Structure 1
C-alpha cells in the first residue's frame, strides 16, 4: 500500500495519489497500451500533428490521443502548438477500439500542478525515486566491482590470475563490448523493437559507408522480396513486404516520421524512425516515387508499415510507378455514366458537366488530395453538401488505411452568406497553406455548391486561383457566364440555357450518385427535402418510394433549416447525418417543432408591422427588419421574408421588401432581376452606393445614411421591372 504525495493518506494497490487528488498532479506516462491510462488524469504529451478536427498528442511511443477542437478554449487555427512541442492534456476516456479522447488543460507547466508522478504501466512513483533507483543500481555495481577487485587480488596472491597487461586489456575490451550491447538493447527496447530483431534503418557498425534513415544515401533492399499491392496489406499483418508507390504526405511525430504512400490500389502510412522527433529521410518529399521494405503492423486498428529500408526510385522505375498510378486514376476516376435521380430530364441535359465534376472529386480522392465543400447555411445548401459527403466518405475509407482519413481528406464548410466572398476565401487560403506547410498536404480541390457561380464571388475565386487550386462549381440557380473562365468546371442550367425547376440539392444529389453509385439509395429523399415550395412531383414520388411521405420530408427540411442557422460556420457532420440518414423520426420531429414555433412567432410580429402600399399596380409589403425582427435569433431574415411572402403573395403582382440598417431583401411574385433593380436604384439614389450583394437571396447593400432614399428607389425600380 502506498501513500498519497499530496495528503499522505494510504492508497490501495501501491498507488501514490488518492482519488480526491487525481487531478492535482501531472503524470509522465511510460506505458505501452491505452488501457493503462486513467480517465480524468492529466498527462504530459508531445504534439504529433494537426487535423481539421483537432490535435493528435503522443502520450508515449505508440500511444496517441486526440484533442478534439470542441475541447479547446480557443479556435484550432489560433493554437500556437507545433509538432514536437511538450503539452499537458487530460484523458477523458479510452474507447473500446483503443482511441483516446483528450481534453484541454489550462495548466501547461509542471509548476502549475501540485506534484509530478511517473506512471509506468500500472506502477506509479516519483521521478526522483526513478533517479534514486538508478543511483542504487550504480552503487550496487560499484560494490560488486570492489568485491571483484578484492577477489582478483586474492586470486593473484594465490597465482590463479594472469598478470600480463594484454589479458587485462582484453578483459576491459570484453567488458566495454558487453556494456555497449546492453546500451543498444536498452535503446532498442525504448523504440519498441525486440532485442533480437534488427532495428529499421540500422547503421552497420562494421562499415562507415552504410546508411541510415537520417542520411540522403539509399538503403539496401532485400533482393528476395516481391512487390505487394497496398490494397492487400490488411491480409499481410506481420509479414515482411515490399511496396512501390508515390509519397502523398509526410508528417513528423514526436517519435517516427510518417510517410503516406500511395500505389494504384490504396494508401498506407509508413513509419521510419531515426530518433524521437527527428525527420527520417529528409531528402524524400511529397511527389517522390519510392520503394520500401518493411513489416506490416496493426497500429491502433490501422494497417501501417514499419520501414526497414526506403529508397528513391529514378528513371524507368519511377516512371513505371507513375504510369501505373496514372492508368489507375484514368480507369477509376471517370464514372461510367450519369443516371439522374427520378429520371430528371433537366439534370440529364447537364450530364457532361456533372460527369466532369464527379471525375474531379473521384480523382482528388485517388490522389490523396483534400476536398473542401462550400455551401450556403440553408436547408437547400446543407442537403447539397450532405449528399456529396455521403458519397465521398466511403471512397476515402476504401482508399486509405487510416480510420480517421475521412476527417483529413474531406471538409464541409457552410457559408453564412451564399456569396463566396473574400472573407471565406481568405479563411480557406489560410487553412490550406498552413496544412501544406505544417503537414506537407497537397492543396485541396474546392467544390462549391449553391455558391461561387456569380460575379459577386469573383474576388474569392480569384484568390484561390492565385495558388493554382482546382475549383468546381455546381449551382442550380442564377449563374454568370464570366464564372466559367475562373473555375475548372461550372455546372448550371443558367450557363447552358436549360430551363427547369431544379434546386441545388436536387442537382447535387444526382452528382453525388455519379460520384458513388453505391449510396444512391441513401440519396433518394434528398431532392424533395431541398424544396421549400412547389416540389416537383417526380421528387415527391421518389421520396415516398424511399419511405418519406410529405409530412416527414417537411420535418426534415425544417429541422435542417433550424440546425443550419445555429453555429452556421460549423459543418455539424454527425448531427446532420443523423437527421438526414439515420433518424427514425424522433429527432427531426422534435427539432421541426421548435422551427415552427420560432417561425410562427416571428411571422406574427412581422405581419403586424408590415406597411403595405401600391405602386404602379404592384402591391408592396415593406418590413423594417431592424425594428421588428430578432436579428440575432432564428429565423434569419431571408427565411422569414420567404415565408412571409409565400403567405401574402396570393398569385397577384406582389413584392415583399425587408429593409435594415444597410441591407435590403426583395421577394417578388414574378421573375425580377435583382441586379437590374440594384442598378436602377443606384441611379435614383446616386449617393447611396447601392450594390448587389447576393442574387439568389435578393440582397442589396447600401450606405446606412441613405436608407429612406434607397427604400423609395428600390420600390420604384421593382415596379418598373413588373
Structure 2
C-alpha cells in the first residue's frame, strides 16, 4: 500500500536553498545559440526575447536539493500490505510486500463456517479450482465462497481440482471476487474460521433455530443414512446430533470417526422437534486443544456420574461394608451412560439373575434415553440371559459379535458388559480374556464364591464374600441397591425385587427376611414365591431371549391385572410339570448314609427324568432335594442329580465348599476334564462322559469327609 510522501509532496527530494545560475549569471538568458537547433517556429520568439538559459529555464536561479529522507527519493511512502511495515528500496516493492513477508507470506485457508464477509481484498487465500470457462477459471475458497481468475491474469490454466493460491484483487458489487493466481515459494497457512462463542449441548434451545453456533466434544456415534451422515457429539452438557451432507448416502468427513474430539460449526435446526445441528464445518482437534476439551468434558461427567450415597432399603452389615465397591460400580455405569457407551447386561437365567438385571435396567434406561434420545435404548442397551451361572464362551462370542456389528453399522464404541449373578469365578476367565482383546470393559455384581483371578479383567467387582459375607446376600439384593445409587427415582418401583430374588434363591440370610418384610405391604410370601417360579418357568421357554415386556409383567412392572393373570397361569403350568417330573423321579432316587452322617440322594436325571422340558435337570434336582429334606427334617441331606457328563449338587446342613472340591477333582483326576462351581453348598460339575464313575465316586468321598451341622 502506498501514499504520497507528506514531506516532499511526491517529488522525492527536499530543496535546501537557491543560488544564482552559474551559466547565465542570474540573467536568465543564454550567451550563445546554435541556430541549427532552432526551428523556424521559435526564430521569431528568439529575435524578440532572446534565448532562455537552459540550466535555470530563464529564472536566473537554481535550486539546491537532496533526496527526501522520508521516502528515500521515491516520492511515495510504501507499507507492507501483509504486516504494515514501512518498505524501503525499490527491490522490495514487488506486490507491495516487505522482504520479510515475501520470504514467508501468510496464506489464509477459509473454514466452511466463513462467508464473504470474512474475505478481505489484498490477502492471499488457498483455493480449489472448481470449473473453467472461456473467460477464466472459477476457484472455491471454501464450500460457500467462490471467485474468478480472469483469463487475462492466467498464463497456464490450471485443471479442475487443482489446489491454488490466489490474491483477492477486489470484491466487486454483488460479492464477486476478482482473483489473481500467485506462485509463492514460502508461506505460512493461517486457518481462518468465523469467530463464534463455544456452546455446550445443554445450552442449545429450540428457540435458537437458525442461529450459527460452535460446539466442541467427542464423537460417540457415526450413522450413515440414505441422506446425510449423522455425527452424535458428546460434551459437558450431554449430546447433540449433527447432520453433515456430502451427497445422498455418501459418508461426510470420512477422516472423522468415533472417539475423536472435534470442533463443529453449524446452524441450529429442529428434526422431530429435537435440536439438531446442520454442519457447515467440522475439524479434528488434536494436541493441547484435544486434551483441554477431553479434560473439560470428563470433569463435568465425573460430577454428573457421582452416585447417590443413600441409606439401604434394609439394615445389612455386609452391604455397609460393601458400600464403597457398590458406589464405585454405580459410578462406572453412570459414566458409561454419559460417555454414550453401549451397555450389555448379562444375567443368570433364574429368578435371582433376572431380578438383578431388571433392577439395573429400570435405573439406567431413563438415563440412556435422556442422554441419547428417544431411540437410544435400541442402539445403546441390550439385556441377555446366560444359561450357566457364569459367563460362557457362547455368551461372550454373541456379545463381541453384537458389538462389532454395531461399531460397523452405527459407528459405536465398544460396550460396557455388566455381569450380574455371574462373573465371579474362574470359569468366567476364558470369556473375560476374549472380551479384553476388544477392550470391552467388564463389571461384576455377584454372590457366587469368588476367585481372585477374575479381578484383573474387571473395572469393578461387588461380591459379599469380599467382606466376609456369603451367597445369602443375593445378587438381586445387591443390584437393587446399586440401581438406587444410579437412579434413586426407581426406589419404589423396584423395592420388591430383592424379596423375589431372596425366595427364588432360597436365601436364609437376615437380609432376606427384611426385604420380604419390606414388600409385605404389597405382596405376601406366597405372591413372591409365585413370581420367582413364574420367572424360572418363563425363562426356560425364552431360552436366550430377554423376554422384555413379558418379564416386566411377571414382576408387576406393568398392568397389575395382567400380572395377576399371567403369574397365576404360569405357576399353574409350572407346578403341573414339576409334579409330573417328581412322580417320575422320586421312585428312582437312590439314598445312602455317608460316614459323616449325611444322607446322600442320587438321581440319574438323564434316564429317570423327562428331558427337554420344564423343569430342567438343575431345577429337577432342586425339587427332588426339597422333597427329601422334608422327609428328613433333622438330618443333613445332599442330593446329586447327574447325567452323562454333569452333576448338580444341592445340600442342607453339609458344610462343603463346591468350588474347592471342583479344583481338587480337576487336579486328582487327570483326563476327566472337571470344571464347574457355584455357591459353597450349591453348584454343578462338568466332566467327560467316560470318567463319570470315577468323578462321582471321588465326589461322594469328599462330601462324606466334610463336617455337618446336625
| Shared fold, TM over 0.5 | yes
- Structure 2 counterpart of 1:466, from 418, 437, 460: 437
Q: Residues of 2 paired with 1:302 and 1:633: CA distance? A: 49
In 1, are the aligned partners of 2:448 and 2:471 still within 8 Å (CA)? no
Per-residue CA deviations over 1:200-233 (Å, capped at 9, x if unaligned) read x84534378799xxxxx9997554x544432354
Q: Does 1:432 align with 2:408?
A: no
More helix by share: 1
Q: Residues of 1 paired with 2:344 and 2:361: CA distance? A: 10
Alpha-carbon distance change, 236 to 640 in structure 1, aligned in 2, over 3 angstroms:
farther
Instruction: Determine the structure 2 residue equivalent to 1:94.
Output: none
In 2, are the aligned partners of 1:346 and 1:499 still within 8 Å (CA)? no
Instruction: Determine the structure 2 residue equivalent to 1:664.
Output: 647
- Structure 1 counterpart of 2:514, from 522, 538, 545: 538
Q: Residues of 1 paired with 2:237 and 2:636: CA distance? A: 60
Instruction: Determine the structure 1 residue equivalent to 2:117.
Output: none
Q: Residues of 1 paired with 2:670 and 2:333: CA distance? A: 46
Instruction: Determine the structure 1 residue equivalent to 2:427.
Output: 456
Mean Cα displacement is larger for which, 445-454 or 234-243? 234-243
Instruction: Determine the structure 2 residue equivalent to 1:204.
Output: 145
- Compute the displacement of 1:499 (Å): 5.2
3-state SS, counterpart of residue 247 of structure 1: strand
Instruction: Determine the structure 2 residue equivalent to 1:567.
Output: 542
In 1, are the aligned partners of 2:348 and 2:385 still within 8 Å (CA)? yes
Instruction: Determine the structure 2 residue equivalent to 1:501.
Output: 472
Q: Residues of 1 paired with 2:246 and 2:662: CA distance? A: 64
Per-residue CA deviations over 1:34-92 (Å, capped at 9, x if unaligned) read xxxxxxxxxxxxxxxxxxxxxxxxxxxxxxxxxxxxxxxxxxxxxxxxxxxxxxxxxxx
Q: Residues of 1 paired with 2:421 and 2:530: CA distance? A: 22
Q: Residues of 2 paired with 1:220 and 1:579: CA distance? A: 61
3-state SS, counterpart of residue 530 of structure 1: helix
In 1, are the aligned partners of 2:308 and 2:486 still within 8 Å (CA)? no
Q: Residues of 2 paired with 1:268 and 1:301: CA distance? A: 13
Instruction: Determine the structure 2 residue equivalent to 1:521.
Output: 492
The RMSD of aligned alpha carbons is 2.8
| Structure 2 residue ranges without an equivalent (≥5) | 1-132, 134-141, 149-160, 166-188
Per-residue CA deviations over 1:595-653 (Å, capped at 9, x if unaligned) read 22222221222212212222323212211111122321111211222222122122412
In 2, are the aligned partners of 1:391 and 1:512 still within 8 Å (CA)? yes
TM-score after normalising by structure 1: 0.67
In 1, are the aligned partners of 2:228 and 2:243 still within 8 Å (CA)? yes
In 2, are the aligned partners of 1:681 and 1:717 still within 8 Å (CA)? no
What does residue range 144-223 of structure 1 map to in structure 2 within 5 Å? 202-206=143-147, 222-223=194-195
Instruction: Determine the structure 1 residue equivalent to 2:387.
Output: 416
TM-score after normalising by structure 2: 0.68
- Compute the displacement of 1:366 (Å): 0.7
Instruction: Determine the structure 1 residue equivalent to 2:568.
Output: 589
3-state SS, counterpart of residue 424 of structure 1: helix
Instruction: Determine the structure 1 residue equivalent to 2:638.
Output: 655
Equivalent residue pairs, number: 515
- Structure 1 counterpart of 2:249, from 264, 277, 283: 277
3-state SS, counterpart of residue 280 of structure 1: coil
In 1, are the aligned partners of 2:422 and 2:448 still within 8 Å (CA)? no
3-state SS, counterpart of residue 356 of structure 2: helix
Alpha-carbon distance change, 682 to 268 in structure 1, aligned in 2, over 3 angstroms:
closer
Alpha-carbon distance change, 698 to 313 in structure 1, aligned in 2, over 3 angstroms:
closer
- Compute the displacement of 1:318 (Å): 4.0
- Structure 2 counterpart of 1:599, from 558, 567, 578: 578
Q: Residues of 2 paired with 1:302 and 1:343: CA distance? A: 44
Q: Does 1:706 align with 2:691?
A: yes
Instruction: Determine the structure 2 residue equivalent to 1:578.
Output: 553
Instruction: Determine the structure 1 residue equivalent to 2:601.
Output: 621
Alpha-carbon distance change, 232 to 646 in structure 1, aligned in 2, over 3 angstroms:
farther
Structure with max Cα Rg: 2
Q: Does 1:645 align with 2:629?
A: no
| Structure 1 residue ranges without an equivalent (≥5) | 1-175, 177-200, 212-216
Q: Residues of 2 paired with 1:373 and 1:612: CA distance? A: 41
- Compute the displacement of 1:525 (Å): 0.3
- Structure 2 counterpart of 1:632, from 607, 612, 626: 612
Per-residue CA deviations over 1:170-221 (Å, capped at 9, x if unaligned) read xxxxxx9xxxxxxxxxxxxxxxxxxxxxxxx84534378799xxxxx99975
In 1, are the aligned partners of 2:443 and 2:459 still within 8 Å (CA)? yes
Per-residue CA deviations over 1:309-366 (Å, capped at 9, x if unaligned) read 3333455654443232111111111214142222322211101111110111000001
Q: Residues of 2 paired with 1:543 and 1:380: CA distance? A: 16
Instruction: Determine the structure 2 residue equivalent to 1:674.
Output: 658
In 2, are the aligned partners of 1:219 and 1:310 still within 8 Å (CA)? no
Instruction: Determine the structure 1 residue equivalent to 2:353.
Output: 381
Per-residue CA deviations over 1:227-261 (Å, capped at 9, x if unaligned) read 44323545337332423322111122221111011
Q: Residues of 2 paired with 1:678 and 1:500: CA distance? A: 18
Q: Residues of 1 paired with 2:207 and 2:164: CA distance? A: 29
In 2, are the aligned partners of 1:255 and 1:277 still within 8 Å (CA)? yes
Per-residue CA deviations over 1:362-405 (Å, capped at 9, x if unaligned) read 000011111111111111001111111111101111112x3110
Q: Residues of 1 paired with 2:507 and 2:658: CA distance? A: 22
Instruction: Determine the structure 1 residue equivalent to 2:201.
Output: 230
- Compute the displacement of 1:706 (Å): 3.2
Q: Residues of 1 paired with 2:495 and 2:454: CA distance? A: 30
Alpha-carbon distance change, 716 to 575 in structure 1, aligned in 2, over 3 angstroms:
same
Q: Residues of 1 paired with 2:274 and 2:590: CA distance? A: 64
Q: Residues of 2 paired with 1:236 and 1:601: CA distance? A: 67
Q: Does 1:396 align with 2:368?
A: yes
- Compute the displacement of 1:712 (Å): 2.9
- Compute the displacement of 1:538 (Å): 0.7
Q: Residues of 1 paired with 2:417 and 2:465: CA distance? A: 21
Q: Residues of 2 paired with 1:205 and 1:593: CA distance? A: 77
